[in-house]
């Protein structure tokens, strides 16, 4: 005879108010770093105290892109690489909305690379959180613009013959006003950096080095998720306020983490308003009038 | 307001400028684009006019970004558009699909030039008609219009916005280089005479609202970003809530509605301008600049006592299937006049269903079709020697 146990009620999660709980469980693999980053994003959003209806998330395609489907905010899961131009339109149409773009290294810097450099150049007032796991996780672990030279993926079984980007250096060179990098183990720093990035006017960028144990870790014999976390953490060296070109990103030598850029620069909208006012003194943006329609 | 959004009065402007004025009159306040001949004048006009009205003009890094940007702007609650020509239209296909799948109102104007590839940047073509219909992957229905004059560029741009807001999809204006660049009289009516349709908004509170729960006409009311509905929008196959649903049944349901909202309303969507149809023995079907050559040919034929008629397609997609089917058994034949190797003629043949001959008058691009060529073809069809 067996005794039937009553199903255990799932205790509430502190972030439930920001989660589409009806969509759980999520699709991420056990040990994936994205959950940690998602949690940091949620905490940073909550800490701002902003009205959730004034914040929107836009993502591209890939594992990280799925965050947009789990957050209980206005959220947009767009096409591969195009999160930033989509977010650009949304931001300019609704400048009072705070915009967070979350996506992976492949989405933001391979297929979306052109959009990234121009969004940063224009200084669009958008916060970008990039989960860098060194490969395309969703499709089973292929070579990405982040894959370390010599690292194995399903499309570089003998080792990648390409040198990877240094995303923080790139973001800074393109004009980002805030640039930081952390590993997924440095949760408090990560959360605080995402918070600073959210408060920053202009194009802010936070890169997170995160384990992908199912694909990248497995093919490169990096051990369990925890071992990967520890490995990246062990390679990390905190060097804030250095020239971003010196913020080395090399998993064989060192992963320089910290906040590399925190500057002020007029945004696209600042310039747009100023230039229009210089020609038309009574110029004002359509907001909020345009919402009323004709 | 610093400038007039509706420039009521009589103007002497080209088709591209007329497109811009039509968009503004329809309430468009956002343009994202990339320069390309022969559509550049639309972007230039927008870059002058939108700031005057407090709107946004932004020049993007490419047409992929332009299309993504206008979708984002539309979800921000602002009517948005872009314009381009063949090469840019190719790049837009990806996010046109996103617009179809997420049901995002916006307008894309393609001022067609000769293709394939870079082709004939400064010369006319109508070779993107099937690309408009099928260019993005997957199965879907679209609405595409085809203006024949600067006046129609104005009128049809307003119509394109109205249809996009009403049916929640990107609507295409399939113009061509001649219509875009020709300068003619354009009459802009008084503001109160212009019908402007805005997207239907939700009438229920957020807890009862589903982003893709359609009304009886197959179209769902649309909450914008920031309206408090906490919407989720994805290009993945999704359920009524907008949440990803990865199974055949959900896909069937979603695509059926995307297709159905156009097919089931096609009598309300389809517009043709018919001339001399009542007793016509030979019916010419055409669109865009070619329809003007066709009109001339039909008038010339009538002068010679030949009973020719014209169906000028204002909506090229959806195609006026029922009209063609009903005429096919009564006429001696149809003719399609178009500047490509024969694209819309395939649709004409399909709808004629073998009930009468169907001929094609065409060239591959670079020049308009002369009315004389169409007149000759009308005579051949009438004699049964086509």
Cβ contact, residue pair A73, B230, below 8 Å: yes
Q: Is the pLDDT of residue A288 over 70?
A: no
Q: Which residues of A touch B99 (CB under 8 A)?
A: none
User: Which of B53, B72, B230 is the closest to A93 by Cβ?
Assistant: B72
Q: Which residues of A touch B61 (CB under 8 A)?
A: 85, 114-115, 117-118
Residue with tokens 């004699």: B383
A57 touches A73 (CB < 8 A)? yes
**pLDDT single digits (tens) B42-96:** 999 999 999 999 999 999 999 999 999 999 999 999 999 999 999 999 999 999 9
A78 shares contact with chain B (CB less than 8 Å): yes
> How far is residue A66's CA from residue A58's CA, in Å, rounded to a whole number?
10
φ, ψ of residue B258 to 5 degrees: the values are: -60, -40
Tell me the CA distances in angstroms from A150 to A157, A159, A163, A250, B347, one per residue in order.
9, 4, 9, 12, 54
What's the gap in Å between the CA of A280 and the closest CA on chain B? 8
Per-residue confidence band for A240, with pLDDT thresholds at 50, 70 and 90:
confident
DSSP calls for chain A = --PPPPPPPPPPPTTGGGB-GGG-S-SPPTT-THHHHHHHHHHHHHHHT--GGGEEEEE-SSTGGGHHHHBSSEEEE-STT-HHHHHHHHHHHSTTSEEEEEEEHHIIIIITHHHHHHHHHHT-S-EEEEEE-SSBTTTTSB--TTPPTT--BTTBTT---SPPP-HHHHHHHHT-SEEEEEETT-HHHHHHHHHHHHHSSS-EEEEEE---IIIIIHHTT--SHHHHHHHHHHHEEE-TTS-GGG--B-TTS-EEEEEEEE-----HHHHHHHHHHHH-TT---STTGGGG--
pLDDT at site A7: 66
**pLDDT single digits (tens) B99-133:** 999 999 999 999 999 999 999 999 999 999 999 99
**% of chain A with per-residue pLDDT over 90:** 89
pLDDT at site B266: 97
Q: What is the count of residue pairs from A and B with beta carbons less than 8 Å apart?
A: 167
What's the gap in Å between the CA of B168 and the closest CA on chain A? 17
Q: Which residues of A touch B242 (CB under 8 A)?
A: none
pLDDT at site A294: 31
Q: How is residue B357 written in tokens?
A: 């001959």
pLDDT at site B4: 84
Determine the residue among A66, A86, A91, A120 to mutate to test chain B binding: the one whose Cβ has the most chain B Cβ atoms within 10 Å.
A86
Helix/strand/coil percentages in chain B, nearest 5 = 40, 20, 40
What's the gap in Å between the CA of A100 and the closest CA on chain B? 13
pLDDT at site A17: 95
What is the topology classification, in CATH, of domain A26-282?
A: Rossmann fold (3.40.50)
A113 shares contact with chain B (CB less than 8 Å): no
pLDDT at site A10: 77
Mean pLDDT of A118-146: 98
Exposure string for B343-361, b = 16+ CB within 10 A, e = fewer: bbbebbbebbeebbbbbbb
Number of residues that this document lists for chain A = 294
Which A positions 122-141 lie with beta carbon below 8 A of chain B?
Answer: none
B309 touches B298 (CB < 8 A)? yes
- All domains in chain B, ordered by first residue: 9-193 (3.40.50.970), 271-383 (3.40.50.920)
pTM: 0.97
**pLDDT single digits (tens) B210-258:** 999 999 999 999 999 999 999 999 999 999 999 999 999 999 999 999 9
Provide the mean pLDDT of chain A.
94
Q: Is the pLDDT of residue B195 over 70?
A: yes
Cβ contact, residue pair A92, B61, below 8 Å: no
Q: Is the pLDDT of residue B296 over 80?
A: yes
Mean pLDDT of B317-322: 98
> How far is residue A208's CA from residue A196's CA, in Å, rounded to a whole number?
15
Q: Is the pLDDT of residue A291 over 80?
A: no
**pLDDT single digits (tens) A53-106:** 999 999 999 999 999 999 999 999 999 999 999 999 999 999 999 999 999 999
Cβ contact, residue pair A89, B68, below 8 Å: yes
Q: How is residue A69 written in tokens?
A: 């489907």
pLDDT at site B119: 97
φ, ψ of residue A10 to 5 degrees: the values are: -75, 120
Asked whether the bond before B318 is cis by omega within 30 degrees of 0, the reply is yes
What's the gap in Å between the CA of B228 and the closest CA on chain A? 5
Cβ contact, residue pair A272, B56, below 8 Å: yes
CB-CB neighbours of B254 under 10 Å: 18
Q: Which residues of A touch B98 (CB under 8 A)?
A: 78-79, 82
Q: Which residues of A touch B196 (CB under 8 A)?
A: 293-294
What lies within 8 Å, CB to CB, of B192 at 6+ separation is none
- Closest CA in chain A for residue B64: A82
Q: Which residues of A touch B27 (CB under 8 A)?
A: 293-294
pLDDT at site A217: 98
pLDDT at site A283: 84
**pLDDT single digits (tens) A159-187:** 999 999 999 999 999 999 999 999 999 99
Mean pLDDT of A23-52: 97
Q: Is the pLDDT of residue A114 over 60?
A: yes
């Amino acid at each position: 005879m067996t005794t039937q146990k009553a199903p255990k009620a799932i205790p509430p999660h502190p972030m439930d108010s920001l989660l589409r709980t009806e969509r759980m469980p999520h699709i991420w693999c056990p040990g994936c770093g994205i959950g940690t980053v998602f949690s940091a994003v949620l905490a940073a959003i909550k800490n701002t105290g902003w009205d959730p209806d004034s914040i929107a998330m836009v993502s591209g395609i890939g594992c990280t892109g799925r965050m947009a489907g789990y957050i209980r905010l206005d959220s947009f899961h767009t096409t591969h690489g195009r999160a930033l131009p989509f977010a650009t339109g949304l931001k300019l149409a609704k400048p009072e909305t705070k915009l967070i773009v979350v996506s992976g290294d492949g989405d933001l810097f391979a297929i979306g690379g052109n959009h990234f450099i121009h969004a940063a150049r224009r200084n669009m007032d958008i916060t970008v959180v990039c989960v860098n796991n060194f490969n395309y996780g969703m499709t089973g672990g292929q070579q990405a613009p982040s894959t370390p030279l010599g690292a194995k993926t399903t499309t570089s079984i003998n080792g990648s013959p390409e040198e990877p980007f240094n995303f923080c250096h790139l973001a800074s060179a393109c004009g980002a006003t805030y640039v930081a990098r952390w590993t997924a183990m440095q949760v408090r720093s990560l959360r605080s950096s995402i918070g600073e990035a959210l408060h920053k006017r202009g194009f802010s960028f936070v890169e997170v080095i995160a384990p992908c144990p199912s694909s990248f870790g497995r093919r490169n014999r990096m051990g369990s998720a925890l071992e990967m976390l520890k490995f990246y953490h062990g390679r990390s060296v905190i060097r804030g306020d250095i020239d971003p070109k010196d913020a080395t990103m090399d998993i064989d030598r060192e992963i320089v983490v910290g906040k590399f850029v925190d500057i002020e620069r007029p945004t696209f909208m600042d310039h747009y308003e100023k230039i229009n006012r210089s020609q038309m003194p009574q110029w004002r943006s359509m907001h909020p009038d345009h919402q009323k329609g004709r | 307001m610093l400038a007039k959004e509706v420039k009521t009065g009589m103007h002497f402007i080209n088709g591209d400028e007329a497109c811009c004025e039509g968009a503004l009159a329809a309430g468009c306040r956002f343009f994202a684009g990339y320069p390309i001949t022969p559509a550049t004048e639309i972007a230039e006009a927008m870059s002058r006019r939108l700031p005057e009205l407090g709107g946004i003009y932004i020049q993007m890094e490419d047409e992929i970004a332009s299309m993504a940007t206008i979708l984002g702007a539309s979800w921000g609650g602002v009517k948005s558009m872009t314009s381009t020509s063949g090469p840019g239209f190719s790049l837009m296909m990806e996010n046109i699909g996103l617009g179809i799948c997420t049901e995002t109102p916006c307008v894309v104007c393609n001022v067609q030039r000769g293709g394939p590839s870079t082709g004939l940047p400064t010369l006319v073509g109508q070779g993107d008609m099937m690309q408009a219909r099928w260019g993005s992957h997957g199965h879907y229905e679209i609405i595409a219009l085809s203006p024949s004059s600067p006046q129609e560029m104005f009128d049809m741009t307003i119509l394109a916005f109205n249809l996009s807001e009403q049916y929640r999809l990107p609507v295409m204006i399939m113009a061509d280089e001649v219509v875009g660049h020709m300068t003619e009289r354009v009459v802009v009516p008084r503001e109160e005479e212009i019908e402007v349709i805005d997207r239907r908004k939700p009438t229920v509170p957020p807890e009862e609202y589903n982003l893709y729960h359609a009304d009886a006409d197959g179209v769902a009311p649309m909450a914008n970003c920031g309206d408090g509905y906490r919407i989720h929008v994805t290009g993945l196959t999704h359920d009524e809530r907008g949440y990803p649903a990865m199974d055949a049944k959900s896909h069937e349901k979603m695509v059926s509605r995307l297709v159905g909202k156009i097919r089931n309303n096609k009598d309300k969507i389809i517009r043709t301008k018919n001339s001399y149809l009542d007793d016509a023995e030979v019916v010419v079907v055409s669109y865009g600049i070619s329809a003007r050559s066709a009109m001339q040919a039909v008038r010339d034929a009538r002068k010679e006592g030949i009973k020719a008629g014209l169906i000028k397609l204002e909506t090229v997609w959806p195609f006026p299937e029922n009209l063609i089917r009903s005429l096919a058994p009564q006429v001696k034949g149809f003719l399609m006049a178009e500047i490509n190797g024969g694209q819309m003629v395939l649709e004409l043949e399909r709808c004629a269903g073998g009930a009468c001959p169907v001929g094609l008058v065409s060239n591959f691009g670079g020049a308009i079709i002369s009315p004389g060529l169409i007149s000759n073809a009308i005579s051949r069809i009438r004699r049964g020697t086509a």
